[in-house]
Amino acid sequence: MLDFRLIGQYLPDFLSALWMTVQISLLSGIISLILGTVLGILSLLEYKVINVPIKLFNGFIRSSPLLVQLYLVHYGLPALGILLVAFQSAIIAFSLNTGSYISEIVRGGLNSIDKGQYEASKALGLSWNKTMLKVILPQVFKRILPPLISQFSYLIKDTSLAAVLAIPEITYMARSISSTTYKPIESYGVPMIMYFIIYIIFSVASKIILNAQKRTVKENSGNLMGKKRAV
Amino acid sequence: MDPIVKIRDLDKSFGKLHVLKKINLDVFPGDVLVLCGPSGAGKSTLIRCITMLENFQSGFIEVFNKNVKGSKENLKYIRKNSGMVFQHFNLFPHLTVMQNVTLAQIHSKNMAKQEAIENAKMQLDQVGLSSKYDAYPDQLSGGQKQRVAIARALAMNPKIMLFDEPTSALDPEMIKEVLDVMIRLAKEGMTMIIVTHEMGFAREVANKIGFLDKGELLELSSSQEFFTNPKSARTKDFLSKIL
């Protein structure tokens, strides 16, 4: 039978581990979104000096396991004189990895915008920065929201790899509790439930965002029909 | 009087395709110039070169006495002071009608938001869209969209308006509502260059008509002369087919 006393005893440890997972996910999520957006925009500007390195970077990230990338950051960068604590290494590795995938999503989104949008902005005298900020990117993010959400849900699960750097997040905590208590079902069962809860919260939040978007579209077309009939 | 737009020996190719051949053109304040001609003649390319939406290889264009290829500041000044209306409207779909009209006033002309809104209301009322401030572009008909696009350009208080086939993407019954707005503008003395196939409209508002074919400006004359006494045989042939 499940040992609920054990779960109760280790609950504070699990909760602090949960908080660590949330921190890593949030920080990496925000950084990767910024990185991916910048890379996505840069890769659209047709400069070879920029494009080739970005393509190489994306190629390496996509072809290699995240675990290897994590080791490379954590043990490779200090060899180059950049000293990192495990938490920083994890954030860097996850941000680079997810950022790379997001850059491709953003690039696809940018490609889907009609060139007339750029022309109208130019004709109105808007600067390139304002064009991006006020005209192009708002449309891009509206379109790429679903793939972005699924990318972030991968990120949350991937943070479990931080366990190999002894960062006390959910998976690491589970392993260490399991090895001291010899109760693997309780030790790994609680993390399963925690990941499940994170997943539920995240997917409900995503659905609310996506539905809010759909509703504005629906209301718009509803109005149109109403007004057409009135005419 | 200095011309607002001065084009000299303008030459442009897309690869091997020679789309504009040695174009010379002056547009003076108050002129309403209609550019017509068969599809692929280079009319749209020509009007798009004026604000450098399209680059060109040789010759020069001056707008407001500033070379369009002179400097970034020149080009910015030219674009801020000229309005452009496109065939496919190019409204910003994520913004309301009001936001479409105020965006460039605020972020390109650095106008205060309240002032921009007041101005936008005035422009939208003038094109008959006072009930559509909060609508999104996809809730509007084609004619309404194009009128928003015109209001958006006018809100920048331009010294010249460029129209690139403004009615070609519209249903026949919506063409008139857009042309009416343009006729009013012409009567108010706005300097305009219009690429269009609407020859009845051209006859009504244009004081000058240019006829292009295969990249050449074959004819540039007053409206009356163009319709009654065209010089080139190609123009006569064109007119006989469309009138």
Using one digit for the tens of pLDDT, what is the confidence trace for A120-179? Answer: 999 999 999 999 999 999 999 999 998 999 999 999 999 999 999 999 999 999 999 999
| CATH number, domain B81-197 | 3.40.50.300
Provide the 3-class DSSP secondary structure of residue B205. Answer: helix
Separation in Å, CA A182 to CA A10, A175, A187, A191: 13, 10, 9, 16
Alpha-carbon separation of residue A223 from A227, A229, B131, B229 (angstroms): 6, 10, 13, 51
Interval A21-66: pLDDT, tens:
999 999 999 999 999 999 999 998 878 899 899 999 999 999 999 9
Local confidence band at B144 (pLDDT 50, 70, 90 cut-offs):
very high
Distance in Å, alpha carbon of B55 to nearest chain A alpha carbon = 13
| ipTM associated with this complex | 0.92
A229: pLDDT strictly greater than 50: no
Chain A and chain B share a number of CB contacts under 8 A equal to 69
Contact B42, B215 (CB under 8 A): yes
In the Cβ-directed half-sphere of A51, how many Cα atoms lie within 13 Å?
A: 7
Is the minimum CB–CB distance between B152 and chain A shorter than 8 Å?
Answer: yes
Listed by start position, the domains of chain B span: 81-197
pLDDT value of residue A225? 42
**Which residues, at least 6 apart from A98, have a Cβ–Cβ distance to it below 8 Å?**
A28, A29, A32, A36, A151, A152, A154, A155, A158
Neighbours of B240 (CB within 10 A): 9
- Indicate if the pLDDT at residue A219 is higher than 70: no
Query: In whole numbers, what is the pLDDT of chain A averaged over residues?
Result: 89
Rg (CA), chain A: 22
Supply the pLDDT for residue A215.
63
CB contact under 8 A, A114 and B80: no
Distance from CA of B79 to the nearest CA of A (A): 5
Q: How far apart are CA A95 and CA A21, in angstroms?
A: 14
Residue B139 contacts residue A227 (beta carbons within 8 Å): yes
pLDDT recorded at residue A16: 94
Percent of chain A with pLDDT over 70: 92
Which pLDDT belongs to residue A220? 52
- pLDDT (0 to 100) of residue B173: 87
Q: Do B156 and A224 touch (CB under 8 A)?
A: no
Order of all β-strands in the sheet with B17-27: B17-27, B5-14, B58-63, B66-67
Instruction: Name the minimum distance, in Å, from the CA of B183 to any CA of chain A.
Output: 22
CB contact under 8 A, B92 and A123: no
Residue-wise pLDDT for B88-97, tens only, equals: 999 999 999 9
Model confidence at A227, pLDDT cuts 50, 70, 90, reads: very low
Segment B143-160 shows an average pLDDT of 96
Q: Rounded CA gap, A77 and A84, in Å?
A: 8
pLDDT for B218 beyond 90: yes
Is residue A223 pLDDT above 80, yes or no?
no
- The pLDDT tens digits for A81-114 are 888 899 999 999 999 999 999 999 999 999 999 9
- Given A123, A127, A138, which is nearest B94 (Cβ)? A138
Of A121, A126, A223, the CB nearest to B139: A223
Find the residue in B nearest to A117 (Cα): B90
Does A226 contact chain B (CB < 8 Å)? Answer: no
Task: Tell if the CB–CB gap between B136 and A125 is shorter than 8 Å.
Answer: no
Residue A226: what pLDDT?
40
Pairing between strand B17-27 and B5-14?
A: antiparallel
Beta strands in chain A (DSSP E): none
**Looking at the domain covering A4-230, what would its CATH class be?**
mainly alpha
pLDDT of residue A218: 52
pLDDT in tens, B220-230: 999 999 998 88
Which two tokens mark B211? 């006829």
Exposed, middle or buried by CB within 10 Å (0-12, 13-18, 19+), for B154? buried
Q: What average pLDDT is seen over chain B?
A: 93
Token code pair at residue B20: 């504009």
Q: What is the DSSP string of B13-60?
A: EETTEEEEEEEEEEE-TT-EEEEE-STTSSHHHHHHHHTTSS--SEEE
Chain A residues within an 8 Å CB radius of B90: 114, 116-117, 119-120
